[in-house]
Structure 1
Amino acid sequence: MGILDGNPKDEPLHYGEIYEIWVFSLKAKGCISAYRAYQYHVGDKELRKTIGEIIDQSELEVTECDEILTHNGIVPTPKLPERPEVKLEEIPVGVRFTDQEIAAMVAADISLGLVSCSAIMGNSIREDVGALFAKYHATKAAQGFKVLKMIKQKGWLIPPPLQVKRPDKEA
């Protein structure tokens, strides 16, 4: 029998796993708060629904990460306070985020979430932790494709410079 090859849930977390799970939970809580604010700014129904789905996923991630931390004697970060509800028409035009801006911020957050999940998977020695973040990674990848498709369909994509004409090759 090797070192740490019993039931993964009975194995101790190493300090890197503790830190990464704790920070991931903190970031997810921040995303929940920010995305609830974005929902008040969004005019597009499809984008609002997608943001709601991302909030639901983030709440699941918080629950599962905080459960691991608590099970291992680590106090998770507190949840942020609920935001008061506001109607889109009540937000002054000069401070309101546009749907295009929100979609771009959400896409960037998903991209960072993918990188974070990959790093945690790579640093984990507990199989259950690696598998959990592999699940999150797959979910975020699917969310990213959905948001990208939406951004393209709605004409919100601002592409980087495209190579339309390639330089002639010298013989």
Structure 2
Amino acid sequence: MGMFSGNPKEEPMHYGEVFSIWTYFLGEKSMIAMYETLLNHAGDDDLKKLLQEAVHGAKMESQQVEELLKTNGIGLPPVPPERPMANNEKIPVGARVMDAEIGALLSANASKGLITCSTIMGQSIREDIATMFGQFHMNKAQFGAKVLRLNKDKGWLVHPPLHDTPQHK
């Protein structure tokens, strides 16, 4: 077993882990800035709460990933700055991102996050990394369920054509 038989945190990361985790970190930091910007556009209070939850979750995850990267001597990518709060009524209606569009974006990002976490878990040879991204995966699945419920409750869900089978008639 050699170098892979002790404490996983002392094992080296392979290039795939490094690239995927570095890219994940950049994505999370970019989503924080994007969600903070979207908070300025959102009008629905429930949507604002979900956006704030998304920002908080991304900050928590990126903090853990940043620590992992630094501990392993991996340089951090340049990330966008956090965004200030603004009054959405000062954003012209035609330039404002609509609540339904934000809900759809949150759904798509939750789905992409699940795939990314699954990929990193699958390529990891370090148990600590696989476990970390397993936790992130679970968080994203739970968040995605909340977004789905919000989109349904608000009438924002855009679904593909429904297949009507004989048993449903």
TM-score by length of 1: 0.93
Asked if the contact 2:36–2:85 (Cα under 8 Å) also holds between the matched residues in 1, the reply is no
Q: AA paired with 1:90?
A: K
Moved beyond 3 Å, runs of 4+:
none
Q: AA paired with 2:45?
A: K
Shift of 1:76: 1.2
CA distance in 2, matches of 1:5, 1:148: 42
Aligned residues: 167
Q: AA paired with 1:112?
A: K
Say what the alpha-carbon RMSD is for the aligned residues: 1.4
SS at match of 1:79: coil
CA distance in 1, matches of 2:66, 2:82: 18
Partner residue in 2 for 1:150: 150
Identity of aligned residues (%): 45
Structure with greater helix share of residues: 2
Segments of 5+ residues of structure 2 without an aligned counterpart are none
Asked if the contact 2:114–2:141 (Cα under 8 Å) also holds between the matched residues in 1, the reply is yes
Shift of 1:83: 2.2
Partner residue in 2 for 1:64: 64
Q: AA paired with 2:135?
A: K
Does 2:81 match 1:77?
no
Q: AA paired with 2:9?
A: K
CA distance in 1, matches of 2:85, 2:149: 29
SS at match of 1:94: helix
Q: AA paired with 2:118?
A: S
TM-score by length of 2: 0.95
Asked if the contact 2:32–2:82 (Cα under 8 Å) also holds between the matched residues in 1, the reply is no
CA distance in 2, matches of 1:166, 1:119: 38
Q: AA paired with 1:123?
A: Q
Partner residue in 2 for 1:25: 25
CA distance in 1, matches of 2:7, 2:17: 17
